Amino acid sequence: MNANFLQTPIAYLKGVGPNRASTLQSELGIQTYQDLINLFPHRYIDKTQYYKINLLQQNTSEVQVVGKITHIKSVAQKKGNRLVATFLDDTGKMELVWFRGQKWIRENLKLNVPYVVFGKTNFYNGTFSMPHPEMELLVDHEKGLKIYMQPVYPSTEKLSNKGITNRVLSKLIQQIFVELNGKFTEALSPKIIEELHLISKSEAMFNIHFPKNQELLAKAQFRLKFEELFYIQLQLIAKNMLHKKRIKGFPFDKVGTIFTDFYNNHLPFELTNAQKRVLKEIRSDLGSNAQMNRLLQGDVGSGKTIVALMAMLLAIDNGFQACLMAPTEILANQHFVGIQELLEGVGITVSLLTGSVKKSARKVIHEQLESGELQILIGTHALLEDKVQYKNLGLAIVDEQHRFGVAQRSKLWHKNTIPPHVLVMTATPIPRTLAMSLYGDLDISVIDELPPGRKPIKTVHRYDSNRLKVFQFIREEIKKGRQIYVVYPLIQESEVLDYKDLMDGYESIVRDFPQPEYQISIVHGQMKPVDKEYEMQRFVKGETQIMVATTVIEVGVNVPNASVMIIESAERFGLSQLHQLRGRVGRGADQSFCILMTSFKLSTEAKTRLETMVRTNDGFEIAEVDLKLRGPGDLMGTQQSGMLNLKIADIVRDNDILKTARYYALQLLKDDPTLAKDENAVINYTYAQLVRHKNIWKYIS
């Protein structure tokens, strides 16, 4: 009865009705009893404590004080008067202040009688004051029903205007408890409850909305956070296990002559231990009979491409084709050129397919793909077109995966009757916590060391007032034959302003670095693609020493000779963007530098970002800081933030609970993959309900 009862439309709850129901739906997304009961308070007003006046702190939290009013006076101010009462307890005195309703208050206040007052305090000229306090005579207070910790629910202006106040929400939630008799169906097995010393579901629900004290509130929060994360992990892990069981992959059972020849004779450098480890993980997936579904994370420059190429050679050795899809033409082009160079003399056919490939060349590619003559195809979204048909695609690699939508990726899977193995690569390090939640159904590999000979990039923060010294430094680097990037922020809302900043910056650089001694390229979003490409190429060929650009150069430009990255107005960039930009230099053997230029006015958050950049080159550490600063939704970009629509847990703050939940979900499914055992009946039932009512996110990784 419980689960079905909670699916009742909210309009039927006593005290709601059709008008309130539509407001609750439009403002808070509440459609059923279940939605309302899962509207958890975001903070609590603690009425369990009574403070002494001499122990009040200068902060803005609400406090409760017992004392007497000894004196009332009206004080003139710029506009009208304010009413001030002197309030004493046995440790000191404070003031109670009213700006409105003074006549009524003056007539009803009793002198020298104990009151309980409650409200926020201000501290001014050595005295605490409490404006418009809630007041109750101590005798009435002691008789009344006490909700000790008062819940405060999320609200909006429209809700307040329609009279749906915090008190009303609290009353409606109480009504559900009354109708349910306070009993909620248990959602976790006795074994988990016992091992983790959890309180019951009914106790947790009651104490999250009406906690008797801080300790019970903490137990309720832990129990409900664990449950929410447990079911998400259960779904992700179950999906991964099912995937491996149900979706058969092509078994690549041999390491053939092409792979061996490349490894022994054409590899330009010794692989790092991290690359070897990742390659081993990929090989074991490819030989396992199940479809590989792996995420490969590695910082800029860690050597993901060579690992991807070697995985493709394994496919070719086993008689299959491979493809690599990148989000931009520049990046696809760069992969193509890099892979062609690496495969020189190996005798593999590689082609590039992007939007700008001519019709006649496309036709040849299509034919060679279908005949199987073409072994590796590299390209952009163009790879997804219906015309692109493979003879036998065995491995699909997707670079910078977060730029491709779900529908686009699933198109690749359907290019074959049996889906190809999938390797997803990203140079945007994803913190472990986020990876466990967003990609819990993918296996994850990490390349966490840079190739030998790469020197870490030196990063410094400089204010605008140091600009002349920075220019002097640039001249010295150019004398050594190096090249320089100068990047300006691009923030969509203010393109006009950004363009002006960029042009002002460009002009000042032209003044300080005059022709013919210096040559400067400029690239920005308002240029035609042809002109952009022309300017990029001049810089790549070394015909210009300085490249002034907006963030268009963020992904995919590889100029080993560029050794200095100057980021203007660095405070306007996010951490991951700063880290990506810094990764454009440091690609050769020379010492490289990243200079973060800012004005003196910096927010605390901007200071944290800049300090993090100066302190570390580790992309994963940077991603952790970024996650703490921005939260999971922002980090993944809007298209994926909906996935983390959590009701009570927070994957950053509740990282430890997430790990515990994942551990328990994993153990449970190893022991009972179909949740068929009696002891797991409640979990099986709850899981089925959640999936049925779509309360766990739906997505394909």
Q: Output the 3-class SS for 30-97.
A: CCEHHHHHCCCCCEEEECCCCECHHHCCCCCCEEEEEEEEEEEEEEECCCCEEEEEEEEECCEEEEEE
CA angle 243, 387, 378 (to 5 degrees): 70
- 350 sits in the region (left: phi over 0; alpha: psi -120 to 50; else beta) called beta
Q: What's the pLDDT score for residue 615?
A: 93
Q: What's the pLDDT score for residue 413?
A: 66
Alpha-helix residue ranges (DSSP H) falling in 490-631: 495-512, 529-540, 575-582, 604-615, 619-630
Q: Dig out the tokens for 279 from the structure.
A: 């390659």
Q: What's the pLDDT score for residue 652?
A: 67
Regions in the chain scoring below 70 on pLDDT: 1, 3, 59-61, 144-148, 401-410, 412-413, 416-417, 432-433, 436-441, 490-498, 551-557, 631-645, 652, 693-701
Element (H, E) at 395: strand 393-399
Q: What's the pLDDT score for residue 641?
A: 37
- 22 sits in the region (left: phi over 0; alpha: psi -120 to 50; else beta) called alpha
Burial annotation 233-261 (CB, 10 A radius, 16+ → b, else e): bbbbbbbbbebbeeeebbebeebeebbee
**169, amino acid identity:** L
CB neighbours (10 Å) of residue 55? 10
CA angle 294, 297, 298 (to 5 degrees): 145
Which among 132, 77, 129, 62 is positioned nearest to 101, based on CA atoms? Answer: 132
Q: What's the pLDDT score for residue 637?
A: 43
**Where in 269-390 does DSSP place strands (E)?**
293-298, 321-325, 350-353, 376-379
**404, amino acid identity:** F
Check: CB of residue 28 under 8 Å from CB of residue 56: no
**Where in 443-590 does DSSP place strands (E)?**
443-447, 458-463, 483-488, 520-523, 546-550, 562-567
Q: Dig out the tokens for 475 from the structure.
A: 């001249």
Check: CB of residue 487 under 8 Å from CB of residue 549: yes
Q: Dig out the tokens for 392 from the structure.
A: 């036998």
State how beta strands 443-447 and 483-488 pair. Answer: unpaired
Q: What backbone phi and psi angles, to 5 degrees, belong to 115?
A: -120, 155
The alpha carbon of 275 is separated from its chain's Cα centroid by a whole number of angstroms, namely 26
Which among 341, 80, 34 is positioned nearest to 205, based on CA atoms? Answer: 34
Domains and CATH numbers, the chain: 2-44+153-183 (1.10.150), 48-146 (2.40.50.140), 257-286+302-426 (3.40.50.300), 458-616 (3.40.50.300)
CB neighbours (10 Å) of residue 416? 18
Q: What's the pLDDT score for residue 695?
A: 52
Could you tell me what percentage of the chain is helix, strand and coil, using 3-state DSSP and rounding each to the nearest 5? 45, 20, 35
| Dist. CA 514–CA 517, nearest whole Å | 6
| Residue 160 CB partners (closer than 8 Å, separation 6+) | none
| Residue 504 CB partners (closer than 8 Å, separation 6+) | none
pTM over 0.85: no
Q: What's the pLDDT score for residue 384?
A: 82
Check: CB of residue 231 under 8 Å from CB of residue 648: no
Q: Dig out the tokens for 312 from the structure.
A: 């493709």
Query: In whole angstroms, how far apart are CA 496 and each of 500, 502, 505, 509, 525?
Result: 6, 10, 14, 20, 11
How do residues 639-688 score in pLDDT, each as one tens digit?
A: 343 345 678 887 767 878 888 998 999 999 999 999 999 999 999 999 98
